[in-house]
Amino acid sequence: MNIAELNTSLVSIIEKKAELSKLSYNDERYDEVEEELHDLEDDFNETYGDYLEEVLEEVHERICPDSDVLLPTAYLPSNLLGNTGGETFKGEGVWVDTDEYPNKESRLVLVPNPTRLILSVGNTIKKEVWKAE
C-alpha cells in the first residue's frame, strides 16, 4: 500500500467536499463539482476500499463492536481544518457506540496528514486509534 498516494487521495476528496460546501445548489458549477466529488470517492473506494475496510473492521472490533462498518469515504471530514490539532471533529465522520465512552457522542473520522483514524468524543476528546504505516 502506497501510504503517500492514499494520503494525497484523502486530501483531494476533502478539498473537493469543502469546495462543494461553498457553492449554493443554484450555482451553475454545483452539479459539475458534485460529480467530480463522486468520481473521486468512487475511485478512492475502488483503490483503497479493501485495505481500509480491513482496518475499519479491526478498529470497530476494538473500539465499537456494536457499530456497523461503512464505506471508507463515510468517515471523511468535510474540510481539512480538523487536521491542525486545535480543531474538533464535532459532527464529522461516522457516529459509533463505544464501550469506553458509553452515552457520549462518539465518531470515527478518517483524516490525512498523516493518514489516521481519530475517535472524537464530544468537544474534548480526540484519540488516534489507527495510523497508516
Q: Where are the domains of the chain?
A: 3-131
- Using one digit for the tens of pLDDT, what is the confidence trace for 36-73? 999 999 999 999 999 999 999 999 999 999 999 999 99
Average pLDDT in the chain = 92
In the block, cell 473500539 appears at 63
Contact 93, 107 (CB under 8 A): yes
Query: Does the pLDDT at position 80 exceed 80?
Result: no
pLDDT beyond 80 at 111:
yes
Kindly write down the DSSP assignment for every residue of 29-51, as one continuous string. Answer: THHHHHHHHHHHHHHHHHHHHHH
